[in-house]
């Protein structure tokens, strides 16, 4: 028995040694960064913190900025965001610039613990050392808040560091962004922001059962929030290949454009982060996103049923649309852009995953208030007016008329999202 236990212990230690991630120093800070005046570096870091939308996760509603405590729900349990104020006991006031870089680049805390990828170090690893040091300089100036960090609420075995090490061995490798020499400086700047600080793939990427992602932008369902982050390269979803650069820029910067309006979690990203970026940076992101290659082939055309019950279902949806929606969106779904988005030819309606239109009909649709759109129009909720079958009927109708052609939605699908929290 003793030999068996010793053999098991040896096996576990060998496994841990094999899986435990090595440390990657990465490039040192540049001479330019080292010589940058302190005030300039802090201002640069404050801008980058907006670009990374750091406050969104590290600030609870009504709480002190960056004091942490927000429960980030995942399929494996809740990850509680930490205090990253300058407090020396409960925050990161004792961290060095190297510690901060190690967290962003290697996904490790100052005490050596492996961090959970709810903190998107899988994206932040792309950030340059200079930008990391600027962020560090800014967070050193964030007023100290003494607020103890709560432990994560993860189920076994996801709460074990060795399990996290195994996950990292499969899905994470530290690597600073490297510009593509064949692309323009603007394209490379956009790629750096989208892949790194913007961490767009954290939402717009499909994930497997273990939460692993290929880091692409092929779209994915946010399982807890109940929204679908569409593919940013597929023209069947939110691909931007046929958009004008100015329209993409407007959507990212203001939340509205002649082609679309942002709702749901993306509205919060625009309000809290993207609207604060310099015009050149937003345009660079637009240039990069527009250039993303579209997947080969076209989706198979949906063949609509002509059965009497299927026809009657859509006719019921048409009646609801005329009574509740046509006043703003038009008899033919033409809308009054940008405030009342057109529904005809609207790809947000015709994706195979219908979570977003269902949620908007149930809970309303609200564009973000931004400097470029200070008085946004909103769509009221209809969850108190329409039952599950009626919501399904009107969404199915929207997906079937004015050139739209997507599968109908069922009342069971609607019910799945009726009680899902908004955020």
- pLDDT of 390 over the 80 cut: yes
Do both 44 and 167 map to the same domain?
yes
> Which strands sit side by side in the sheet containing 77-80, from one edge to the other?
71-74, 77-80, 153-154
Do both 316 and 412 map to the same domain?
yes
Do both 40 and 124 map to the same domain?
yes
pTM above 0.95, yes or no: no
Do both 400 and 336 map to the same domain?
yes
- pLDDT of 18 over the 80 cut: no
Cα distance between residue 344 and residue 325, in whole Å = 13
| More confident of the two residues 7 and 327 | 327
The CATH number given to whatever domain includes residue 275 is 1.10.760
- pLDDT of 298 over the 80 cut: no
> Which run of H or of E encompasses 74?
strand 71-74
- For 333-355, write each residue's pLDDT tens digit: 999 888 888 999 898 999 999 99
- Distance in Å from the first CA to the final CA of the chain: 52
Do both 62 and 163 map to the same domain?
yes
Q: If pLDDT is split at 50, 70 and 90, which confidence band does 9 have?
A: very low
DSSP state of 200: G
Cα distance between residue 331 and residue 281, in whole Å = 39
Would you say residue 73 lies in a domain? yes
> Which run of H or of E encompasses 38?
helix 38-51
- Torsion of the alpha carbons at 357, 361, 366 and 367, rounded to the nearest 10: 30
Do both 191 and 149 map to the same domain?
no
State how many domains the chain has: 3
Would you say residue 363 lies in a domain? yes
Q: Work out the average pLDDT over 93-102.
A: 97
Would you say residue 301 lies in a domain? no
- For 148-201, write each residue's pLDDT tens digit: 999 999 999 999 999 999 999 999 999 999 999 999 999 999 999 999 999 999
What's the confidence (pLDDT) of residue 26?
Answer: 83
Cβ atoms of 398 and 349 closer than 8 Å: yes
Would you say residue 356 lies in a domain? yes
Mean confidence (pLDDT) of the chain = 91
- pLDDT of 276 over the 90 cut: yes
Would you say residue 303 lies in a domain? no
Cα distance between residue 133 and residue 153, in whole Å = 31
What's the confidence (pLDDT) of residue 419?
Answer: 80
At residue 286, the 3 state secondary structure works out as helix
Do both 208 and 325 map to the same domain?
no
Would you say residue 75 lies in a domain? yes
Do both 240 and 360 map to the same domain?
no
Q: What angle do CA 401, 403, 407 make, to 5 degrees?
A: 60
Residue range of the domain that includes 313: 308-418
Structure tokens at 331: 């008899």
Q: Work out the average pLDDT over 242-251.
A: 95
> Can you say whether the dihedral through the CA atoms of 329, 333, 335, 337 is positive or negative?
positive
- For 35-73, write each residue's pLDDT tens digit: 999 999 999 999 999 999 999 999 999 999 999 999 998
Q: Is 358 exposed, middle or buried (0-12, 13-18, 19+ CB in 10 A)?
A: buried
Would you say residue 74 lies in a domain? yes
Do both 51 and 157 map to the same domain?
yes
Would you say residue 5 lies in a domain? no
Of 290, 323, 349, the position where a domain reaches its end is 290
Q: If pLDDT is split at 50, 70 and 90, which confidence band does 294 have?
A: confident
């Amino acid at each position: 028995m003793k030999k068996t236990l010793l053999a098991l212990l040896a096996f576990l230690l060998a496994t841990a040694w094999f899986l435990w991630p090595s440390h990657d120093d990465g490039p040192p800070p540049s001479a330019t960064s080292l010589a940058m005046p302190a005030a300039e570096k802090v201002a640069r870091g404050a801008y980058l913190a907006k670009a990374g939308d750091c406050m969104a996760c590290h600030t609870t509603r009504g709480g002190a900025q960056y004091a942490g405590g927000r429960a980030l729900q995942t399929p494996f349990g809740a990850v509680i965001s930490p205090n990253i104020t300058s407090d020396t006991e409960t925050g990161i006031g004792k961290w060095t610039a190297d510690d901060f870089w190690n967290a962003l680049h290697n996904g490790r805390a100052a005490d050596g613990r492996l961090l959970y990828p709810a903190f998107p170090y899988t994206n932040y690893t792309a950030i340059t050392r200079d930008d990391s040091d600027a962020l560090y300089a800014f967070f050193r100036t964030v007023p100290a808040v003494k607020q103890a960090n709560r432990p994560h609420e993860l189920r076994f075995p996801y709460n074990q560091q060795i399990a996290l090490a195994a996950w990292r061995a499969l899905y994470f490798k530290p690597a600073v962004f490297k510009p593509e020499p064949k692309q323009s400086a603007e394209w490379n700047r956009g790629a750096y922001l989208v892949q790194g600080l913007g961490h767009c793939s954290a939402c717009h990427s499909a994930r497997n059962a273990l939460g692993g992602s290929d880091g692409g932008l092929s779209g994915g369902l946010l399982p807890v929030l109940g929204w679908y982050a569409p593919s940013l390269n597929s023209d069947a979803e939110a691909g931007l290949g046929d958009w004008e650069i100015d329209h993409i820029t407007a959507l990212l910067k203001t939340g509205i454009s002649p082609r679309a309006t942002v709702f749901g979690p993306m509205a919060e990203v625009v309000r809290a982060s993207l609207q604060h970026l310099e015009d050149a940076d937003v345009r660079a992101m637009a240039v990069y996103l527009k250039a993303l290659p579209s997947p080969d082939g076209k989706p198979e055309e949906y063949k609509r049923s002509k059965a009497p019950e299927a026809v009657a279902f859509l006719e019921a949806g048409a009646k609801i649309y005329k009574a509740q929606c046509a006043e703003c969106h038009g008899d033919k779904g033409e809308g009054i852009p940008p405030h009342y988005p057109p529904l005809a030819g609207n790809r947000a309606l015709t994706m195979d995953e219908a979570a977003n239109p269902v949620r908007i009909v149930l809970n309303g649709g609200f564009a973000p208030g931004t400097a470029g759109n200070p008085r946004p129009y909103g769509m009221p909720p209809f969850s108190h007016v329409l039952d599950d079958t009626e919501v399904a009927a009107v969404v199915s109708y929207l997906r079937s008329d004015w050139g739209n052609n997507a599968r109908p939605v069922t009342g069971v699908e609607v019910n799945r999202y009726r009680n899902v929290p908004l955020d």
